[in-house]
């Protein structure tokens, strides 16, 4: 039996042996794998070095001996073939890449061509649509196309009129021969020479000279009596005292009938009596004037023929013109005295009329029927107001030096200069009508009215029976307070209840009436003739246009379009019209100005003296009218359905028919800047033409090539270097809309188009880009011109602004000459003057469009506005203009205009009207 330990030892010996063998085999394997390759490499290397290069086994062999082996040669051929194929494939790849690039360029060009073709197709559709519209309008139009009236003159043969019942019953329909005044006759007026009739030697020399000077400068006066519509005979004022006694009334009638064109009854004659004093001679009272109308300041009720005779204003400034700078300002509204009156009641009057065989003299007529006397009550009431000291008033019923006046009238006190000084300190000026109700008009009352208007005292006329000058045409209730005499006890309360706004509006209207109708002898005569012309419904003479003396110039290459100026995203700015430039219709309201617009033309500036081709105040049709028979010229958005950007840009829309605008560009010896500015206008929609006002006495260079922008460029020569030339109404401007722009102004096309669209909805305003305002200098109590950034503005500079051509006429021919003289003196301020004018006419501020505050082009030469004296001169201009107008007409505004859909989130199928505005 074996022991356990021995058995275990004998059993473990094979396991140990196997472990030793495994270790030995691992060692031998490691040796063979590691050292054998090293020994073999060393051995082979030694053999190659010992045997020389010719006997090497593994080294490279010269002459490609290694390729001599057949399989190696095959591999080399394969390598070379693959290399050639790779080179060919690379060449083909490069060729294909170039072809792909060329095809991509062609694709992009095709896309652009397609887009351009689409735009051309859209424009062609718009042009076709516009042409169809024009054709339909032409076929359906039943209204004659009006233009400047063709003058038709009356026949020399006078068929005569059937006699009226009596000369007292004369009216225009029965005593005026309309056949001598056709609608297009031009209203020719023949003025008798005062030396051709006997009593001409009795006329006041000043009146005679003033009348002759005014007649020479009047556009209606003709020297051919055979074509005349109206014949004017000056019969007064008579000189005081007369050089010889006047003939009796019967003799005066014979002298009238002896006039060469009296034609037995005096039809179409006007007997004119101009008064210079309150004591006028009414020597025509007992004279039978037949069918001749009478125009004078004094009328008795039995003498005055309503609607036929004229109550005219006195002739105060016979040969001298008033100095507008000496007229007191309209503000402050309330002055030292609430109201004033200085006068003395006339109890008796020395007759200035001759004694004749007339049944009753003028003075006897006044004494024959004493009226209800309110004068005592007026005196007592006014004295009570003065004694109450509630307000500072001045009333005087006795005069140290009373002026001669008619019976029952209140005589003027003292000299004219003394009366004016009192009125300058008066808020209201009382004008008490004559005590006799039969005296419907008197020179004394007219004189008081005239003096009050001249210095800005609001007239208060006591007596509703008085006929004020031109009362059929002038609405005196807007310029004076008309109170019946029985309300004298309530007069004080009434005057105190008026607000400052109403007082200033009344005072401003009175200033307009005085300046327009009464201030000079020329205005007095023009007003008398305009009154007759309006009564017989003849249009005024067309206002003068400035003839454009064109400077010949050569057009160069076709102008390009700056993409930065015309960029509007994916929208067009409007159809570029392929038809010839479209001028605005002219003189469409030749006769409605007098037949329909009588009130506005007589009671609003500039008055009834001119016929304008068009005005910004013409009436606008209601929206449905353009679809129901009155659609001539209208281009509604989307045909009336409206729309967003694309439909908006395809038509002008709005409330007025289609139209274009004219660019007027003032320049002075900056040819390169001018050419760049003109080139930027290429492709601008709705542009009619460009008028370049060449303000330099030196003509353009002979070798200067002007850009061809596809539209006329008219270069106008001026007589002198004046900034007023910017606003001359050139006859080359054939559109209502004018874009006044400086030669260095830098505006994008979309900005210009937006400004034009805005102006079409506000035609009576200045619509532009750079805004300025007037500021009050508290320390000096005066006005300052300010160009700082502000939330409030009152002016838009006309270096980049739209305005109506109507204002060019007013600026050049109606605005006071003193303003234009100051513009020439400073070579500055013409834009301020235009803003003053438009705000004075409309009582509205200008309209600023877009966010642009400056508009000068980068790199342009420095302008005059950068001079230090520029702003000082503009301060002076503003204060001078205020003196001329009598008040500050500029008004503030606190908003600007942007496009309707600006910053509005839109659906993906809608587009904005303008991308950046």
CA dihedral 766, 815, 790, 801 (to 10 degrees): 30
CB 772 within 8 A of CB 794: yes
CB 508 within 8 A of CB 339: no
CA distance 237 to 277: 9
Q: Is the peptide bond before 368 cis (omega within 30 degrees of 0)?
A: no
Q: Which residue, 646, 492, 509, is CA-closest to 572? A: 646
CB 602 within 8 A of CB 595: no
In terms of C-beta distances under 8 Å and separation of at least 24 residues, what long-range contacts does 151-156 make, across chains too? 151/184, 151/185, 151/186, 152/182, 152/183, 152/184, 152/185, 153/182, 153/185, 153/188, 153/227, 154/179, 154/180, 154/181, 154/182, 154/185, 154/227, 154/229, 155/179, 156/226
Tell me, rounded to whole angstroms, the distance of Cα 816 from its chain centroid.
17
What are the structure tokens assigned to 405, written together? 């006046």
Residue 389: left (phi > 0), alpha (psi -120 to 50), or beta?
left
Provide DSSP, 367-390. Answer: HHS-----HHHHHHHHHHHHHHTS
What are the structure tokens assigned to 25, written together? 């085999």
Q: What number of H helices and E strands is found in the chain?
A: 22, 28
Per-residue buried b or exposed e for 69-89, using 16+ beta carbons within 10 Å of the residue's own CB: eeeeeeeeeeeeeeeeeeeee
- The helix (H) or strand (E) run that includes residue 802 is strand 800-804
- Beta-strand (E) ranges in 297-387? 299-300, 310-311, 337-342, 344-345
Q: Is the peptide bond before 606 cis (omega within 30 degrees of 0)?
A: yes
Q: Which residue, 801, 829, 827, is CA-closest to 815? A: 829
Tell me, rounded to whole angstroms, the distance of Cα 488 from its chain centroid.
45
Q: What is the largest CA-CA distance in the chain?
A: 202
Residue 517 three-state SS:
helix
Give backbone dihedrals phi and psi of 29, rounded to 5 degrees, phi first. Answer: -60, -40
CA distance 374 to 433: 10
In terms of C-beta distances under 8 Å and separation of at least 24 residues, what long-range contacts does 492-500 make, across chains too? 492/385, 492/390, 492/391, 495/338, 495/339, 495/427, 495/428, 495/460, 496/338, 496/391, 500/333, 500/334
Q: Which of 618, 731, 831, 909 is catalytic?
A: 831
Look-up: residue for tokens 């009047």?
218
CA distance 410 to 406: 8
Q: How far is CA 495 from CA 340, 393, 395, 491, 503, in A?
A: 12, 12, 15, 6, 10
Look-up: residue for tokens 């010949």?
552
Residue 782 three-state SS:
strand
Residue 460 forms beta bridges with which residues?
Answer: 430, 481
Helices 416-424 + 443-455 axis angle, to 10: 50
Give backbone dihedrals phi and psi of 703, rounded to 5 degrees, phi first. Answer: -95, 10
898 among known catalytic residues: no
Catalytic residue IDs: 831
């Amino acid at each position: 039996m074996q022991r356990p330990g021995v058995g275990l030892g004998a059993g473990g010996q094979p396991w140990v042996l196997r472990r030793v063998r495994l270790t030995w085999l691992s060692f031998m394997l490691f040796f063979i794998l590691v050292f054998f390759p090293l020994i073999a490499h060393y051995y082979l290397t030694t053999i190659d070095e010992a045997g020389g290069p010719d006997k090497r086994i593994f080294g490279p062999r010269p002459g490609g001996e290694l390729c001599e082996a057949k399989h190696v040669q095959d591999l080399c051929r394969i390598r070379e073939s693959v290399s050639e194929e790779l080179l060919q494939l690379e060449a083909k790849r490069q060729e294909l890449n170039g072809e792909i690039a060329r095809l991509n360029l062609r694709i992009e060009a095709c896309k652009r061509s397609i887009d351009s073709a689409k735009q051309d197709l859209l424009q062609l559709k718009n042009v076709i649509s516009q042409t169809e519209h024009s054709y339909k309008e032409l076929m359906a139009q039943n209204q004659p196309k009006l233009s400047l009236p063709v003058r038709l003159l009356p026949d020399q043969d006078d068929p005569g009129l059937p006699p009226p019942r009596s000369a007292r019953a004369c009216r225009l329909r029965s005593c005026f021969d309309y056949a001598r005044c056709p609608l297009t006759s031009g209203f020719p007026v023949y003025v008798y020479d005062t030396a051709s009739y006997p009593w001409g030697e009795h006329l006041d020399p000043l009146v005679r000279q003033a009348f002759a000077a005014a007649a020479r400068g009047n556009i209606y006066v003709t020297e051919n009596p055979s074509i005349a519509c109206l014949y004017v005979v000056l019969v007064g004022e008579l000189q005081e005292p007369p050089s010889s006694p006047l003939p009796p009334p019967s003799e005066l009638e014979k002298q009238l009938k002896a006039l060469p064109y009296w034609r037995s009854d005096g039809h179409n004659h006007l007997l004119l009596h101009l008064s210079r004093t309150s004591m006028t001679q009414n020597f025509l009272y007992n004279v039978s004037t037949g069918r001749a109308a009478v125009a004078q300041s004094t009328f008795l009720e039995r003498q005055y023929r309503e609607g036929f005779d004229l109550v005219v204003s006195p002739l105060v400034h016979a040969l001298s013109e008033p100095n507008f700078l000496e007229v007191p300002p309209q503000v402050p509204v309330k002055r030292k005295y609430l109201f004033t009156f200085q006068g003395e009641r006339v109890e008796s009057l020395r007759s200035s009329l001759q004694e004749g065989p007339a049944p009753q003299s003028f003075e006897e007529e006044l004494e024959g029927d004493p009226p209800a006397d309110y004068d005592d009550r007026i005196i007592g009431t006014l004295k009570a107001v003065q004694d109450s000291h509630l307000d500072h008033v001045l009333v005087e019923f006795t005069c140290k030096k009373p002026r001669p006046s008619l019976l029952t009238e209140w005589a003027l006190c003292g000299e004219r200069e003394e009366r004016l000084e009192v009125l300058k300190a008066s808020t209201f000026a009382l004008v008490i009508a004559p005590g006799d109700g039969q005296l419907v008009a008197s020179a004394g009352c007219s004189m008081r009215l005239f003096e009050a208007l001249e210095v800005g005292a609001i007239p208060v006329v006591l007596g509703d029976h008085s006929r004020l000058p031109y009362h059929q045409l002038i609405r005196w209730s807007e310029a004076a307070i008309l109170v019946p005499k029985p309300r004298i006890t309530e007069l004080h309360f009434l005057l105190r209840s008026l607000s400052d706004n109403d007082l200033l509006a009344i005072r401003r209207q009175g200033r307009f009436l005085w300046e327009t109708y009464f201030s000079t002898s020329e205005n007095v005569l023009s007003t008398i003739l305009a009154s007759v012309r309006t009564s017989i419904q003849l249009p005024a003479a067309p206002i003068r246009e400035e003839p454009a003396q064109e400077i010949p110039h050569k057009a160069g290459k076709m102008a390009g379009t700056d993409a930065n100026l015309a960029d509007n995203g994916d929208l067009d700015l409007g159809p570029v019209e392929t038809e010839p430039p479209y001028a605005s219709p002219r003189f469409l309201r030749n006769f409605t100005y007098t037949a329909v617009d009588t009130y506005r033309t007589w009671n609003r500036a500039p008055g009834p003296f001119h016929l304008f081709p068009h005005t910004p105040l013409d009436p606008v049709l209601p929206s449905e009218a353009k679809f129901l028979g009155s659609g001539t010229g209208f281009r509604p958005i989307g045909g009336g359905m409206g729309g967003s950007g694309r439909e908006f840009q395809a038509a002008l829309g709005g409330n007025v028919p289609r139209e274009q605008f004219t660019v007027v560009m003032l320049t002075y010896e900056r040819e390169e800047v001018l050419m760049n500015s003109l080139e930027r206008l290429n492709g601008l929609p709705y542009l009619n033409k460009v008028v370049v006002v060449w303000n330099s006495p030196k003509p353009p260079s002979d070798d200067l090539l002007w850009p061809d922008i596809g539209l006329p460029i008219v270069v106008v020569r001026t007589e002198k270097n004046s900034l007023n030339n910017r606003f001359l109404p050139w006859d080359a401007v054939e559109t209502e809309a004018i874009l006044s722009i400086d030669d260095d102004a830098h505006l994008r096309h979309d900005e210009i188009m937006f400004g034009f669209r805005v102006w079409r909805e506000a035609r009576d305003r200045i619509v532009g880009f750079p805004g300025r305002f007037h500021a009050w200098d508290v320390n000096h109590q005066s006005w300052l011109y300010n160009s700082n950034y502000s939330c409030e503005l009152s002016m838009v500079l006309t270096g980049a602004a739209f305005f109506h051509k109507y204002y060019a006429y007013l600026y050049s021919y109606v605005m006071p000459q003193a303003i234009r003289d100051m513009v020439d003196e400073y070579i500055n301020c013409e834009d301020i003057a235009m803003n003053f004018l438009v705000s004075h006419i409309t009582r509205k501020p200008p309209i600023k469009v877009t966010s642009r505050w400056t508009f000068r082009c980068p790199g342009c030469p420095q302008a005059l506005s950068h001079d230090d004296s520029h702003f000082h001169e503009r301060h002076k201009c503003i204060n001078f203009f205020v003196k001329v107008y009598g008040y500050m007409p500029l008004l503030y505004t606190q908003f600007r205009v942007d496009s309707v859909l600006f910053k509005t989130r839109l659906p993906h199928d809608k587009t904005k009207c303008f991308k950046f505005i």
